[in-house]
Structure 1
């Protein structure tokens, strides 16, 4: 018997009251999100598959429990969320995107345990990679197609490459900026990238930059602007390639990171950084353009980055790896990555050697090697 199911873990808001009873917010939050998106309750009811009467009952009960109004209605503008409801919704989104890597990692471990209970488990590839939109879409493509099962663990680039060298994963995701910061970033990866043992599977090129409020009220243009008085910054986590890139840019400008308010404030995903900005907790953050677009934020480009999967060269001929590459080359996934804001899918699925990908950076005669 083959195990055919995929485990999933979800979050749920539960507010516990002083008397020990609890108030579950999940249905209310889903309804508020639909009202925000559609602009009226009737459409939100259809989207959430609840009756109009039931929806109003949920909302009125929530307003009573929270002691705050959630909706503003008018004939001209329809139904809008109050400022309190908007903040509540964005607090929930921040929690969701913060927990996504943690839950996905726990889900992967649970999946392994479930599969081990079946004698004919489906073969799988082990992927360690940072959280991103192309990787997220890849997991969705695996679930919807006849493709090799992928066990995903979210890791920083260096952690992923180190795992590949220890034999703990089959695919290690990492990104490298195009241009002047390519070689400095590669210096951090070189201990775990061997041009004699490893090959690279190219995923895509993406735009990385700053997220700011619409209209860019703080006039953020370059990394030097992060040091302006009163500008609040939110960074990526320690060890991430994005954080390393920002640090290199600051060093080039001679700027001390300790002068930047919020430099040590960090999030684990691009969407979590964007949610930080939308929620008014920071003025500027850093990540890929897709997150800014999805959250309605303005985007200031800083660098183009190429994303690769490193693999053991001798694994390329294995049936599972060939199926994986075929999935990347397929029209469905190519189309998905191509429509992501800030992504360029040209060359997606191409297999390269480290020397082909980075030219002289892996030249044994170069000073950097």
Structure 2
């Protein structure tokens, strides 16, 4: 018995009244997002797969439930969302961005359970990595190949590398900035990297920087501007490589992190950081350029990062790893990554010894 399906989990808001009656918001939120993009209801209904009549019915029902208007219409500007609807939409985007890693990891676990029910199920590559757009795209591309199956768990870089050392995964994703912060970041990974046991598969280079509102009202231009008293910052979670990089940049300038309003805050994805800023809950956050572009934010570059998968040398010749390398060097995935704002796909899929990737740092790494 064979199957061709992929387990997916999605989040959805539901309004529940005291009497138990519920109103699911999934369709109305998708419709509001389409209206926000297209500027008119008819096109938004088509985009959402709804009839015009049904779309209007949803809008009227939602306005009744919330007891406020969701749309503003004018001849010059077409149909726009009211401030209430905009806040509703951004709240949903923040929730989706926060839950994405958890739901994708749980989906992968569920898929593994389903696979175990079929005796002829193909072996899976176990990937532990932090949430990112190239990794997200890799899982999507792999899902289109009958011969390659990837089990994903979202972890911080150090958690992923520790998992590789314990034999709990086959690939561990981590990123290292180029330039002056390469060695300090690499020093945090050194205890889990072994020049004899491990080699690296190069994924991509990406631009990391600050997200600010398009008109940049707080005049934020450098990392030093995070200490301005009227600037609200949103940070990545404790243990993340991005949070570590921010801390190093501030330390290099002699700035105590306690001076930064919001430094102790945390979000788990680049999109959650961008949605936090775009919704007005913060003035600045840090992440990869793709997230800023998708949320309509301005981007101020701070560093270029190289992203790698650490693997055990003796796993390179397995059929599953060879299939992964073929996917990484193929045109479809390369074109996908090249299309991501701030990503560079050149040399994707190249296998490197640790000393090739880090000529200075590899000499300090553990040797078995």
- TM-score normalised per structure 2: 0.97
Post-superposition shift, 1:62? 0.7
Aligned to 1:198: 198
2:241 equivalent in structure 1 = 241
Alpha-carbon shift at residue 118 of structure 1 (Å): 1.3
How far is the alpha carbon of 1:3 from its aligned partner?
A: 4.3
- The corresponding residue for 1:116 is 116
Q: Which residue of the partner structure matches residue 129 of structure 2?
A: 129
Q: Secondary structure at the residue paired with 1:264?
A: coil
Q: Distance in 2 between matches of 1:47 and 1:168?
A: 42
SS of the aligned residue for 2:161 comes to helix
Matched residue, 2:74: 74
- Alpha-carbon offset, residue 147 of structure 1: 4.2
Q: Tell me how far apart the structure 2 counterparts of residues 57 and 214 of structure 1 sit (CA, whole Å).
A: 35
1:271-310 correspondence runs (5 A): 271-310=271-310
Q: What is the Cα-based RMSD across aligned positions, in Å?
A: 1.1
Matched, 1:48 2:52: no
Find the counterpart in structure 2 of residue 35 from structure 1: 35
Q: In the aligned structure 2, how far is the partner of 1:323 from the partner of 1:165? A: 23
In structure 2, distance between residues paired with 1:241 and 1:12: 30
Structure 2: how far apart are the matches of 1:47 and 1:80?
Answer: 16
Q: Deviations over 1:39-90 (max 9, x none)?
A: 1011011112222111111101110110110000112211111111011001
Measured against aligned partners, the alpha-carbon deviations of 1:297-356 in whole angstroms (never above 9, x if no partner) come to 000111000000000001111111111000000001111111111011111110001100
Deviation at 1:112, TM superposition (A): 1.2
Which 5+ residue runs of structure 1 have no aligned equivalent?
A: none
Q: Give 1:319's aligned residue.
A: 319
Deviations 1:11-30 (A, max 9, x none): 11111112322221111111
Counterpart in 1 of 2:155?
155
Q: For structure 2, list consecutive stretches of 5 or more residues without a partner in the other structure.
A: none
- For normalisation by structure 1, the TM-score amounts to 0.97
State the SS of the aligned residue for 2:360.
Answer: helix
Partner of 1:175: 175
**2:333 match:** 333
Paired residues of 1:3 and 1:120 also in contact (CA < 8 A): no
Q: How does 1:222-237 map to 2 (within 5 A)?
A: 222-237=222-237
How many residues were matched structurally? 365
Distance (whole Å) between structure 2 residues aligned to residue 233 and residue 337 of structure 1: 28
4+ long deviations beyond 4 Å: none
